[in-house]
């Protein structure tokens, strides 16, 4: 027996020596490049259900636009509203934005807008080649980030001089005559400050559709700047963009406007820093928008010549000031985080007219939100943590009865072993009206009434199992939503008569089948009960992804299958790409999105302008165009 043991030991030593000889610095550098990512440092383990896009995923899958990420986010997906704007929770009505619960952060700073809350309104379809990695937290994430009602929180982490010192330029062209150019430069300066600066110009030409023989378009011409300055724990973020968009359908009754344009300009400036225990944040967001739509229709006397819209013009500008102080401390087995946050949203409609008549009668133009929060992570054992958090939010509107005092809480338990993680989270969240909805006779069924905040109680279980090259994940959730707002027959928001009950199950399997290559599959089922005029909604989702590298080629394939019980149709969004790394500094890429032209469509309702009671066949248009892009990038 001893002889066998000795033999095995010698064999083990020989094997180790052989492996060690094979071990080269180049392959180790390659491992560092491919297998390390900053998300290991930024991800919050007890923050909620999370999904990470690593830098390597983003590179090899050629993820260049935010909507490439949004379309795979469970349980939301990507959708566009009647203005062609990113709005995953759109009801297909005239509301400019209904996805305020999806929050977008760049590094530590939330991107916000005065009228619509979430920065997704302005950022949901932008170029994201300035991003290092992305973290998506769903289902009531931690108050460390989200201090307003949040169903999904997306953190976009910028590249930095630490990893990307140097510069890059990329040119791309593709379907419909689309063209993109972007460049960045990053440098560590001698005074320990470093900067990263990204500029892009996207002439995003898109597929055209016809409605009642009129061409409708969602083209976007966008210029974007994202710049960060960092020193130790100090971060400055500056983002600016201008967008000239075709306004798609706007509020055209028959979905065929003669002209439709939308212009938006946006600036974000913010500073955040932290000491050992205290972190501070101060941000400012500015946005102005202008829309104009003309339609070849005759306004009807029965509607006081306000309807249907022959001319719709809006112009607005808004400012958001946000300040936050957070304090973290560790007392015995408690990790306590507490803080206060104040946000003021000031907004002005310079114009809001339909058929030349002013639509807006409310003088409400300021919403303030003061929030106090506390969260404690208590370690029962080293691998068993209880999280308990409470948040009190005071929402005030300056000329409205729509003032709310909202108490929210979340309780969670995380248990981990070497291979298993169990997360249980129960949460109670409240959501009040966005600024633009307060007292709005255009968008609310009862503009002068007080709207009770939407109240969501959720319980979820997230189980993760890791074994060798495999990671399995299961998410089960159950929610009851009170005071859920749905559009009535006029398309104005009113209470859903019953509580909406949602339940879902999602399972994911990631398999690393060799050193750098991986296969991913996700299966999901979601049921939404008691929705007005619909009853029960059932959604099925399947995502299959394969990413692999062969010699100098990075190849990916991805297919999204969706089906629901309303359209009862199978939708397939198949994307594929190949990237040829000619040298360390020069790369050529080819990417196709929705190659089968069978991606999920959105229904846009239309009516006869002469008799609005008579419905026309709705338009079925996918927010994801069939598109092929060729791009070249050069690092310098």
Binding site for other proteins (CB under 8 A): 23-25, 28-29, 31-33, 35-38, 40-41, 55, 159, 162-166, 168, 188-190, 192, 418, 584-585, 635-636
Which 3-state string (H, E, C) describes 295-327?
A: CCCCCCHHHCCCCCCCEEEEEEEEEEEEEEEEE
Rg of the chain (C-alpha set): 26
Instruction: Report CA-CA distances (Å) from 232 to 37, 164, 189, 620.
Output: 19, 17, 12, 51
Helix/strand/coil for 439: coil
Beta-carbon contacts of residue 309 (< 8 Å; ≥ 6 apart): 250, 251, 252, 253, 293, 295, 297, 299, 354, 355
Cβ atoms of 112 and 343 closer than 8 Å: yes
Cβ atoms of 178 and 217 closer than 8 Å: no
What is the helix (H) or strand (E) element at residue 31, kind and residue range?
helix 25-35
In whole angstroms, the minimum distance from the beta carbon of 446 to other proteins comes to 53
Strand partners, 477: 460, 504
Helices and strands (H and E) in the chain: how many? 7, 35
Q: 100 φ, ψ to 5°?
A: -65, -20
What is the helix (H) or strand (E) element at residue 6, kind and residue range?
helix 2-22
Q: Measure the CA dihedral 457/463/464/465, to 10°.
A: 180
Q: 2 φ, ψ to 5°?
A: -60, -40
Q: 302 φ, ψ to 5°?
A: -60, -25
Task: Compute the distance between CA of residue 104 and CA of residue 472 in angstroms, rounded to an integer.
Answer: 27
Pairing of β 102-106 and β 152-158: parallel
Task: Using CB atoms within 10 Å of the CB of residue 236, give its burial: 0 to 12 exposed, 13 to 18 middle, 19+ buried.
Answer: middle
Q: How far is CA 314 from the centre of its chain?
A: 26
DSSP labels, 133-202: EEEEEESS--TTT--S--SEEEEEEEP-HHHH-EEEEEEEEEGGG-EEEEEEEEEE-TTS-EEEEEEEEE
Strand partners, 237: 228, 270
DSSP labels, 360-387: ------EEEEEEEEEEEEEEEETTEEEE
Burial 495-507 (b: 16+ CB within 10 A, else e): bbeeebebebebe
């Amino acid at each position: 027996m001893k002889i066998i043991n000795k033999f095995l030991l010698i064999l083990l030593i020989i094997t180790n020596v052989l492996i060690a000889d094979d071990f080269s610095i180049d392959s180790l550098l390659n491992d560092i490049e491919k297998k390390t990512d900053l998300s290991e440092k930024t991800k919050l383990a007890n923050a909620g259900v999370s999904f990470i896009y690593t830098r390597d995923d983003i590179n090899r899958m050629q993820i260049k636009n935010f909507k490439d990420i949004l379309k795979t986010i469970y349980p939301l997906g990507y959708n566009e509203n009647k203005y062609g704007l990113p709005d995953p929770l759109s009801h297909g009505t005239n509301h400019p934005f209904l996805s305020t619960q999806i929050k977008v952060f760049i590094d530590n700073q939330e991107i916000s807008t005065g009228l619509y809350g979430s920065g997704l309104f302005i950022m949901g379809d932008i170029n994201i080649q300035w991003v290092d990695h992305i973290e998506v937290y769903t289902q009531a994430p931690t108050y460390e980030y989200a201090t307003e009602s949040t169903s999904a929180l997306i953190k976009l982490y910028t590249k930095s001089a630490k990893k990307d010192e140097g510069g890059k330029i990329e040119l791309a062209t593709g379907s419909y005559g689309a063209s993109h150019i972007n460049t960045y430069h990053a440098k560590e300066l001698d005074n320990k400050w470093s900067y990263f600066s990204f500029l892009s110009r996207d002439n995003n030409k898109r597929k055209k559709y016809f409605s009642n023989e009129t061409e409708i378009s969602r083209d976007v011409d966008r210029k974007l700047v994202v710049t960060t300055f960092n020193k130790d724990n100090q971060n400055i973020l500056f983002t600016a963009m201008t967008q000239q968009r075709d306004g798609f359908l706007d509020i055209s009754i028959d979905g065929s406007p003669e002209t439709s344009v939308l212009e938006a300009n946006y600036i974000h400036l913010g500073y955040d820093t932290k000491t050992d225990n205290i972190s501070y944040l101060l941000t400012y967001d500015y946005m102005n928008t202008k829309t104009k739509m003309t339609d070849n229709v005759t306004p009807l006397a029965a509607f006081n010549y306000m309807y249907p819209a022959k001319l719709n013009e809006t112009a607005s500008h808004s400012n958001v000031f946000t300040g936050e102080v957070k304090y973290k401390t560790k007392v015995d087995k408690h990790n306590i985080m507490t803080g206060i946050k104040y946000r003021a949203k000031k907004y002005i409609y310079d114009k809001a007219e339909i058929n030349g008549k002013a639509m807006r009668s409310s003088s409400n133009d300021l919403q303030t939100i003061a929030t106090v929060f506390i969260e404690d992570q208590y370690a029962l054992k080293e691998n068993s943590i209880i999280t308990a958090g409470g948040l009190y939010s005071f929402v005030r509107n300056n000329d409205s009865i729509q003032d709310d005092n909202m108490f929210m809480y979340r309780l969670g338990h995380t248990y981990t072993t070497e291979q298993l993680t169990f997360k249980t989270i129960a949460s109670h969240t409240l959501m009040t009206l966005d600024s633009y909805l307060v007292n709005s006779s255009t968008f609310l069924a009862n503009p002068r009434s007080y709207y009770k905040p939407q109240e969501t109680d959720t319980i979820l279980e997230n189980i993760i199992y890791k074994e060798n090259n495999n990671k399995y994940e299961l998410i089960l959730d159950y929610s009851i939503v009170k005071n859920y707002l749905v559009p009535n027959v006029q398309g104005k928001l009113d209470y859903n008569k019953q509580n909406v009950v949602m339940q879902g199950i999602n399972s994911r399997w990631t398999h690393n089948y060799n050193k750098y290559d991986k296969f991913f599959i996700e299966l999901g089922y979601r049921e939404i009960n008691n929705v007005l005029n619909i009853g029960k909604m059932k959604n099925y989702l399947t995502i299959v992804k394969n990413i692999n590298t062969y010699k100098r080629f990075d190849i990916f394939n991805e297919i999204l299958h969706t089906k629901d019980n309303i359209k009862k149709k199978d939708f397939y969004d198949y994307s594929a790409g190949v990237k040829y790394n000619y040298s360390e500094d020069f790369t050529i890429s080819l990417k196709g999105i929705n190659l089968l032209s069978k991606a999920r469509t959105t229904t846009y309702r239309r009516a006869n302008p002469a008799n609005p009671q008579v419905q026309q066949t709705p338009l079925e248009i996918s927010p994801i165009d069939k598109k092929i892009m060729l791009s070249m990038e050069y690092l310098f």
